[in-house]
């Protein structure tokens, strides 16, 4: 029988029942891979439920550093009877099926192309432990120990991991290591040389961290000087504010009196959360909120106010599968249009789109500078896959010389020194951005009335058509300014090498980059460009213009980014070809490659052949 | 009502302790209907700020949408104002207050803005005890959309349109007491003598202060069958008592009969004296306040004046444990932990 043989290039999937402690055991495994210096990313595929339903954890180990999903499972760790049949069939031919052999496999598990590895997890725990809760928890640790053996992993790394994890709770260290050893020894005795997969030490994680995007986003807000967060719990965004609070508790307590240099308020709903953010920003504090699609719908009213009254606001949208409640614990990139055009009337919002935890940190910090410089809401479009899963990322860095860009805000002294009459919405610098004042700045100067109704340059209510049109046109001019300030897209090549290109953004980035490499291995060159912001920087239009066909890879049904590109740029719609994945699972490289190949064959478009590219040097 | 206001001011206009005249507290011209109760409330707010010697720029005025919510443009022109969205003023005020606890927050809302579309936000700003004065200009109808009944219209009351309201009216004062407000009062736009000291006391109170002011809509809800008309309120209201507000720095000279007067010292040292008409009312007793409001209601009367006062309720900042300094005054050095700290965080993710 064929056996999948691979070193540092494999996919392991854990099938568990949620609420049984499997998440921390699985995390222990992923972290051990990371500590062996091998790139790893883990996808937690979980139900909208607290206990008892199926949950999976898919770990991709890849020393080339590909971080997206590959597709296919080489080794399944099946501990959930509810899904065992499906899990069994998901294993690739030549792959491995690891199961709890306390009971024999039921009839119907008759594949002859995979290798079964049965370890009596339940029996071992019954022999070893009397407390049912311990039996449950250590069952998970035992299979991690068995994997350590099966995958030739250094056992010391697991021991060190346990020691680090339970620092401060020392009495838990010995029993956890014991459970690891139980699994390791059983596998060693019963399954020597069965598994052809192997994870071997490398040195590829220098300066890397293994972190979830939401933690990085929360840290970005803290480093950017956010002091107020109004929020309403919603999966998958909740851990953004939780991370912000966790680190604020460590680093934002006033040493003199022990009081908090921040305020986090759980609002009654998303409307109120956004209202708090707007009120605080209006009053000169950096404030933000985090939500997901349903929250964006509710916040739309306020986003229109902030757009029209020109109040900075930072909103983190960790997208999930919609519409409506949709699949609340599955990922999607389906709020692109809802966020870009949130609210009634002519409104457009700045979007920043991170693809990995480092970008979550950097773009969140940038969002506050942009929101205040442009005096408008800035929405960070993350998603569940990025927000809640642990991914290898470059370390987070803060330039200590960096200064917050607070935008055009007049001090009392500046108001005193003004010679011309000040108007809150006067376009003095011809960039569409006026000068604002914080409440309480000056006893007699600089007060104004903020409103969502039409107003003139001096913030006075007006129903004059001319004044209204002037202010709408100035907002448009500000939009032009925004194009020069948002982060530029990142090209995958120094200059065009093909007449076929591919655009991608956010969490579609990693799988697409891998697909580009796969295409290249098959002899086809495709140029890539990672979008990072809306409005589109001029490089985006240039990229589309300079290619005959451009794929747009995204994780929604309706090709929302493609719609946005067609709507906002002078581009021919037929040039753009969508590659869409919207089943709630992170997109895979195999899928993208397959779509590109099919489309190019159908269209009879031949991308520049890699041999030709080589010849041209 | 649009009218012209002469620029001339008497050269000997009285100044307050900080040297401001009443003119310094004026705002833009009102565009409300002639005789609108809301303008009288605005005048009382102006008077209260003048008498308290509050610097106008230390006040932030916030409102929602509706006739009432337009009024902040008509007083305290040197204050920043924020006319937000319908029913959402409480959350904007909350964010503003979190950002800078040193200003005085004056929220102005209406009965539609508060008791219907904004009911959720109203309830939650009360239970968080945000340090603000929340004035409801309550006319029982939607003025700006031409007189539909609002949720505070009394059952059976009929506006100019004529059909009696079939639904139960919401009593915002009872709600606020139940939800933990420290200062709850009801007044009448036609009774400046009562309203002005109530606003002064509310501004001195630390925590959430509600003043529900019945303010007749002269255009749509001032007819004989309405319980929010000038005539009805004048004939059917009874005050909890006459009311004195003594700022902290003033010596208390008046003598009152013991038993009839309740005296409460506010957080800033000011003292409130209530000379009670109703001896049943105990100011810091929720059930007594609720009982008295309902007792008068059952007689077909409106109980006005100070209804409930507990000066010791901790406000949102106290509940959250935020710093005494305004959060918007913290410097980058205080806010940004720097790269060295970030490197140790990185280490925890390895």
Which CATH number do you get for residue A107? 3.40.920.10
Does A209 sit within 8 Å of B95, measured CB to CB? no
Ranges assigned E (strand) in A35-142: 40-45, 54-62, 73-78, 91-100, 115-119
Does A448 sit within 8 Å of B95, measured CB to CB? no
Q: What is the mean pLDDT of residues A342-355?
A: 98
Q: Which residues of B touch A262 (CB under 8 A)?
A: 322, 327
HSE, CB side, 13 Å, CA atoms: give it for residue A42: 24
Q: What is the mean pLDDT of residues B332-347?
A: 97
Nearest to A20, CA basis, from A40, A43, A49, A41: A49
Q: What is the mean pLDDT of residues A67-83?
A: 93
- Residues A329 and A447 both lie in one domain: no
- Residues A185 and A222 both lie in one domain: no
Q: Which of B88, B96, B334 sits opposite A271 (nearest CB)?
A: B88
For the whole model, what pTM was predicted? 0.95
- Using DSSP's 3-state secondary structure scheme, residue B289 falls into helix
Q: What percent of chain A has pLDDT over 70?
A: 98
Does B349 sit within 8 Å of A223, measured CB to CB? no
Rounded-to-integer distance, Cα B148 and Cα A208, Å:
63
Angle in degrees, CA A59, A60, A61, rounded to 5: 115
Q: Which residues of A touch B82 (CB under 8 A)?
A: 279, 282, 449-451
Tokens of B104: 């005085």
Residue A613 has pLDDT above 50, yes or no: no
Q: What percent of chain A has pLDDT over 90?
A: 92
- Residue A615's pLDDT is what? 41
Rounded-to-integer distance, Cα B1 and Cα A202, Å:
80
Tokens of A148: 């350590």
- Residues A51 and A182 both lie in one domain: yes
Rounded-to-integer distance, Cα B199 and Cα B306, Å:
10
Q: Which residue of B has its CA nearest to A390?
A: B349
Sketch the domain layout of chain B as residue ranges.
Answer: 22-318
Instruction: Please report the number of interchain residue pairs, chain A to chain B, with beta-carbon separation below 8 angstroms.
Output: 224
Residue at A425 is within a domain: yes
A167 reaches B (C-beta below 8 A) = no
Rounded-to-integer distance, Cα A587 and Cα A603, Å:
23
Does A439 sit within 8 Å of B100, measured CB to CB? yes
Give A 40-99 residues with CB within 8 A of chain B.
Answer: none
The DSSP-derived string for A284-342 is T--EEEEE-HHHHHHHHHHHHHHHHHT--EEEEEEE-B-STT-BTTS-----HHHHHT-
Residue that is last in its domain, among A334, A362, A394: A394
Does A450 sit within 8 Å of B83, measured CB to CB? yes
- Using DSSP's 3-state secondary structure scheme, residue A414 falls into helix
Residue at A404 is within a domain: no
Nearest to B38, CA basis, from B97, B122, B104, B109: B109
How far off is chain B from A228, nearest CA to CA, in Å? 7
**Tokens 């192309």 belong to residue:** A113
Does B335 sit within 8 Å of A252, measured CB to CB? yes
Q: What is the mean pLDDT of residues A346-361?
A: 98
Pick among 1.20.210.10, 3.40.50.360, 3.30.70.2740, 3.40.50.970: CATH of B22-318? 3.40.50.970
Rounded-to-integer distance, Cα A355 and Cα A329, Å:
19
pLDDT tens for each residue of A485-517:
999 999 999 999 999 999 999 999 999 999 999
Does B82 sit within 8 Å of A282, measured CB to CB? yes
Rounded-to-integer distance, Cα A606 and Cα B229, Å:
81
Tokens of A99: 């199961």
Give B 193-252 residues with CB within 8 A of chain A.
Answer: none
Does B58 sit within 8 Å of A450, measured CB to CB? no
Angle in degrees, CA A23, A29, A31, rounded to 5: 100
- Residue B273's pLDDT is what? 77
Residue that is last in its domain, among A338, A368, A394: A394
Q: What is the mean pLDDT of residues A531-559?
A: 97
Residue that is last in its domain, among A344, A362, A394: A394
- Residue A437's pLDDT is what? 98
Does A219 sit within 8 Å of B345, measured CB to CB? yes
Residue A617 has pLDDT above 70, yes or no: no
Q: Which residue of A has its CA nearest to B317?
A: A263
- Using DSSP's 3-state secondary structure scheme, residue A211 falls into strand
Give B 318-347 residues with CB within 8 A of chain A.
Answer: 320-324, 327-328, 330, 332, 334-339, 341-343, 345-346
Rounded-to-integer distance, Cα A207 and Cα A39, Å:
12
pLDDT tens for each residue of B167-217:
999 999 999 999 999 999 999 999 999 999 999 999 999 999 999 999 999
The region of weakest confidence among A444-448, A578-582, A602-606 is: A602-606
Q: Which residue of A has its CA nearest to B333?
A: A225
Residue A374 has pLDDT above 60, yes or no: yes
C-alpha distances (whole Å) from A580 to each of A361, A380, A560, A588 are 27, 21, 10, 11
Report how many domains make up chain A. 4
The DSSP-derived string for B29-55 is ---SPTT-HHHHHHHHHHHHHHHTT--
Nearest to B324, CA basis, from A221, A442, A277, A263: A263
Q: Is the dihedral of CA A164, A167, A172, A178 positive or negative?
A: positive
CATH code for the domain in which residue A229 is found: 3.40.50.970
* Local confidence band at A338 (pLDDT 50, 70, 90 cut-offs): very high
Pairing outcome for strands A527-531 and A500-505 = parallel
Residue at A215 is within a domain: yes
- Residues A435 and A560 both lie in one domain: no
Residue A228 has pLDDT above 60, yes or no: yes
pLDDT tens for each residue of A142-195:
999 999 999 999 999 999 999 998 888 989 999 999 999 999 999 999 999 999
- Residues A362 and A421 both lie in one domain: no
Residue at A406 is within a domain: no
Does A222 sit within 8 Å of B95, measured CB to CB? no
Nearest to B135, CA basis, from B62, B50, B190, B81: B62
A400 reaches B (C-beta below 8 A) = yes
- Residues A50 and A147 both lie in one domain: yes
Cβ(B248)–Cβ(B227) below 8 Å: no
- Residue A616's pLDDT is what? 39
Cβ(A331)–Cβ(A384) below 8 Å: yes
Q: What is the mean pLDDT of residues B234-257?
A: 71
Residue B1 has pLDDT above 60, yes or no: no
- Residue A614's pLDDT is what? 43
* Residue range of the domain that includes A457: 412-485
Mean pLDDT over each residue of chain B, to the nearest integer: 91
- Residue A612's pLDDT is what? 46
Residue A121 has pLDDT above 70, yes or no: yes
Which residues on neighbouring strands pair with residue A135, listed in sequence order? none
Q: Which of B72, B82, B95 sits opposite A277 (nearest CB)?
A: B95
Classify residue A423 as exposed, middle or buried by CB count within 10 Å of its CB (0-12, 13-18, 19+).
Answer: middle
- Residues A346 and A430 both lie in one domain: no
- Residues A347 and A258 both lie in one domain: yes
Nearest to A300, CA basis, from A313, A287, A286: A313
- Residues A480 and A506 both lie in one domain: no
- Residues A509 and A440 both lie in one domain: no
Count of all residues that appear for chain B in the document: 350
Residue at A400 is within a domain: no
Q: Which residues of B touch A277 (CB under 8 A)?
A: 95
pLDDT tens for each residue of B36-68:
999 999 999 999 999 999 999 999 999 999 999
Residue B3 has pLDDT above 70, yes or no: no
How far off is chain B from A290, nearest CA to CA, in Å? 15
Q: What is the mean pLDDT of residues B310-320?
A: 96
Cβ(A597)–Cβ(A577) below 8 Å: no
- Residue B268's pLDDT is what? 83
Rounded-to-integer distance, Cα A150 and Cα A195, Å:
6
Does A247 sit within 8 Å of B322, measured CB to CB? no
Residue B346 has pLDDT above 90, yes or no: yes
CATH code for the domain in which residue A537 is found: 3.40.50.920
Rounded-to-integer distance, Cα A526 and Cα A239, Å:
37
- Residues A450 and A519 both lie in one domain: no
How far off is chain A from B331, nearest CA to CA, in Å? 9
- Residues A531 and A611 both lie in one domain: yes
Residue B24 has pLDDT above 80, yes or no: yes
Helices (H) and strands (E) in chain A, counts: 20, 23
């Amino acid at each position: 029988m064929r056996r999948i043989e691979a070193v540092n290039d494999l996919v392991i999937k854990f099938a568990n029942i949620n609420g049984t402690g499997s998440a921390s055991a699985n995390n222990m495994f992923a972290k051990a891979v990371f500590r062996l210096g091998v790139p790893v990313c883990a996808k937690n595929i979980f139900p909208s439920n607290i206990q008892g339903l199926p949950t999976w954890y898919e770990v991709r180990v890849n020393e080339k550093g590909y971080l997206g999903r590959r597709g296919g499972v080489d080794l399944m760790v099946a501990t959930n009877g509810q899904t065992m049949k499906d899990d069994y069939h998901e294993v690739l031919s030549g792959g491995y099926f690891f199961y709890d052999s306390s009971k024999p496999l039921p009839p119907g598990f008759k594949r002859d192309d995979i290798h079964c590895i049965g370890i009596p997890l339940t029996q071992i725990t019954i022999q070893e432990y009397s407390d049912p809760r311990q039996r449950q928890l250590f069952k998970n640790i035992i299979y991690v120990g068995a994997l350590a053996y099966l995958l030739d992993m250094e056992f010391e790394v697991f021991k060190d991991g346990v020691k680090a994890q339970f620092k401060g709770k020392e009495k838990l260290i010995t029993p956890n290591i014991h459970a690891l050893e139980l699994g390791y020894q059983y596998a060693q005795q019963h399954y020597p040389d069965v598994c052809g997969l192997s994870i071997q030490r490398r040195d590829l994680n220098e300066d890397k961290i293994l972190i979830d995007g939401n933690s990085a986003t929360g840290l970005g807000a803290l480093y950017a000087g956010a002091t107020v967060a109004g929020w309403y719990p919603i999966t998958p965004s909740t851990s953004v504010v939780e991370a912000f609070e966790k680190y604020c508790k460590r680093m934002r307590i006033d040493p003199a009196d022990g009081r908090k240099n921040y305020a986090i308020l759980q609002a009654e709903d998303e409307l109120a959360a956004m209202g708090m953010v707007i009120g605080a920003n209006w009053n000169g504090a950096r404030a933000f909120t985090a939500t997901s699609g349903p929250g964006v719908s509710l916040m739309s009213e306020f986003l229109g106010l902030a757009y029209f009254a020109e109040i900075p606001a930072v909103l983190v949208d960790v997208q999930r599968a919609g519409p409506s409640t949709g699949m609340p614990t599955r990922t999607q990139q389906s709020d692109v249009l809802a966020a870009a055009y949130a609210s009634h009337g002519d409104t457009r919002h700045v979007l920043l789109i991170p693809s990995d935890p480092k970008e979550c940190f950097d773009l969140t910090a940038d969002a506050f500078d942009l929101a205040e410089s442009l005096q408008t809401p800035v929405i960070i479009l993350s998603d569940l896959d990025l927000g809640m899963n642990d991914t290898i990322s470059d370390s987070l860095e803060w330039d200590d010389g960096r200064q917050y860009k607070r935008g055009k805000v007049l001090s009392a002294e500046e108001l005193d020194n003004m010679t011309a009459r000040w108007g809150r919405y006067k376009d003095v610098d011809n960039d569409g951005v006026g000068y604002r004042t914080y409440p309480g700045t000056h006893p007699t100067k600089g007060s104004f009335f903020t409103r969502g109704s039409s107003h003139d340059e001096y913030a006075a209510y007006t129903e004059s058509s001319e004044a209204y049109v002037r202010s709408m046109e100035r907002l448009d001019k500000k939009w032009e300014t925004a194009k020069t300030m948002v982060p530029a897209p990142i090209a995958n090549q120094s200059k065009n090498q093909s007449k076929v290109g591919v655009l991608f953004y956010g969490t579609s980035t990693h799988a697409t980059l891998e697909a580009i490499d796969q295409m290249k291995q098959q002899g086809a060159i495709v140029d890539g460009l990672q979008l990072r912001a809306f409005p589109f920087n001029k490089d985006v239009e240039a990229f589309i213009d300079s290619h005959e066909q451009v794929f747009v890879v995204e994780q929604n049904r309706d090709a929302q980014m493609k719609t946005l590109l067609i709507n906002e740029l002078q581009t021919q719609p037929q040039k753009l070809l969508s590659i869409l994945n919207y089943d709630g699972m992170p997109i895979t490289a195999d899928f993208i490659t397959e779509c590109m190949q099919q489309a190019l064959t159908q269209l009879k478009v031949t991308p520049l052949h890699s041999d030709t590219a080589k010849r041209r040097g | 009502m649009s009218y012209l206001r002469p620029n001339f001011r008497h050269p000997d206009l009285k100044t307050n302790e900080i040297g401001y005249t009443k003119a310094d507290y004026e705002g833009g011209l009102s565009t409300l209907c002639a005789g609108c109760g809301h303008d009288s409330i605005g005048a009382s707010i102006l008077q209260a700020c003048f008498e308290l010697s509050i610097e106008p720029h230390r006040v932030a005025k916030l409102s929602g949408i509706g006739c009432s919510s337009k009024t902040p443009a008509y007083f305290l022109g040197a204050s920043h104002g924020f006319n937000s969205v319908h029913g959402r003023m409480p959350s904007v005020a909350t964010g503003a207050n979190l950002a800078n606890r040193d200003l005085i927050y004056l929220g102005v809302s209406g009965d539609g803005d508060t008791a219907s579309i904004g009911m959720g936000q109203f309830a939650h700003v009360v239970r968080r005890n945000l340090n603000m004065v929340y004035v409801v200009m309550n006319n029982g109808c939607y003025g700006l959309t031409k007189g539909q009944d609002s949720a505070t219209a009394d059952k059976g009351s009929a506006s100019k349109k004529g059909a009696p309201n079939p639904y139960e009216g919401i009593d915002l004062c009872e709600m606020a007491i139940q939800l933990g407000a420290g200062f709850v009062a009801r007044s009448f736009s036609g009774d400046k003598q009562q309203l002005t000291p109530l606003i002064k006391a509310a501004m001195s109170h630390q925590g959430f202060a509600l003043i529900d002011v019945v303010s007749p809509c002269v255009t749509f809800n001032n007819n004989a069958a309405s319980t929010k008309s000038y005539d009805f309120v004048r004939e059917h209201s009874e005050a909890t008592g006459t009311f004195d507000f003594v700022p902290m720095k003033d010596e208390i000279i008046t003598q009152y009969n013991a038993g009839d007067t309740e005296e409460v010292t506010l957080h800033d040292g000011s003292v409130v004296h209530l000379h009670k008409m109703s001896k049943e009312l105990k100011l810091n007793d929720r059930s007594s306040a609720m009982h008295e409001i309902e007792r008068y209601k059952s007689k077909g009367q409106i109980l006005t004046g100070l209804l409930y006062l507990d000066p010791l309720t901790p406000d949102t900042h106290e509940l959250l444990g935020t710093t005494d300094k305004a959060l918007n005054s913290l410097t980058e050095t205080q806010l940004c932990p720097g790269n060295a700290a970030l490197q140790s965080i990185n280490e925890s993710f390895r």
